[in-house]
Amino acid sequence: MPPGVYTFGPKNGQEAVVQDGMSVMPDRTGYASGVVRMKDHIKTLTKLVGLSLIDAVRMATIVPARIIGIDGRMGSLEVGKDANIIIADDDMEINTTVVNGNLLLPN
């Protein structure tokens, strides 16, 4: 996320300040949340941990969807599920994004 003030969690959740690649409490007394991009987590899992790309992507998609109970409609590519996908190159740079079956054009 770019630098700024954000509310994490529900709309009336905890406010946090994102700066220098970190999310901190407004009074700067502690970390508020992670701001690492998912593509960077996947790169770490494949390049440093040695997982296959398939396993790393599953850990980033179907596993969290299953944990929060939305795996019936998200987290994998199956008929009847939301069509939310990204297409990335070998270095995990995102080339194409599709949300609910609609192609999003880059800015």
pLDDT of 83-92, one tens digit each?
A: 899 999 988 8
pLDDT of residue 80: 92
What are the residues whose beta carbons fall under 8 Å from the beta carbon of 16, sequence distance 6 or more?
5, 6, 7, 8, 23, 24, 25, 26, 32, 33
pLDDT for the residue 82: 93
The pLDDT, as a whole number, for residue 107 is 61
Domain map (residue ranges) of the chain? 4-33, 38-102
pTM value > 0.75: no
Tens digits of per-residue pLDDT, 12-69? 888 889 988 788 888 988 888 778 888 999 999 999 999 999 999 999 999 999 999 9
